[in-house]
Amino acid sequence: MSVVILIGRIMFAMIFMGSGLAGHLMSADDTAAYAESRGVKSAKMLTQVSGVLIALGGIAVILGIWIDLAAIGIAAYVLITGFMVHHFWTDEDPMTQQVEMSMFMKNLSIAGGALILFGFAAAAGEGLGLTITGPVFDFNL
C-alpha cells in the first residue's frame, strides 16, 4: 500500500512542481501579467515567492518531508489563489467567467485533496511509509 500512496503523492505534487518551476519561476513575467490582469497587486514578487513555495511543497510531498505541513501549506495557497485570482463572480464576459469558475473549482478540489492528505499524514504518523521524515503534527495522541 505504501507504493500506491507514493504514486498518489507524486501525481498530486506534479502540478505544484510544474506550475512552481515552469509557470511561476521560468515564466514569471507571463504569470505575473495574468495575475496583474486579475487585480493582484505586487504580482511579480508574489508570483516568484509563490513559485518557490509551491515547488518546495511539491518536493516535500513527493519525498515525504513533513508531508502534513506541506499539505496544509498547499491547501492554504490554492484557497488564497482561488479567491485572489479566480474570482469568477466579478467577471462580466461569459467565457472568462466560465474559465475562471473552472479554475476556482479546481482550486477548491485541490484544497480538499490537500486537507485529506494533511489529515491522513498526521493520523498515520510514522506509519505512512516511504517518507524521509514523519509528520510535524501527531493526531495519535
Amino acid type, 10 = I
Closest CA to 19 of 136, 110, 102, 101: 110
- How much is the pTM? 0.93
42-92 tens-digit pLDDT: 999 999 999 999 999 999 999 999 999 999 999 999 999 999 999 999 999
Neighbours of 83 (CB within 10 A): 10
Widest CA span in the chain: 51
Task: Identify the sign of the CA torsion 69, 11, 84, 104.
Answer: negative
Return the pLDDT at 141: 54
| Per-residue pLDDT at 140 | 72
> Distances in Å between the alpha carbon of 24 and those of 55, 61, 94, 140?
9, 19, 27, 37
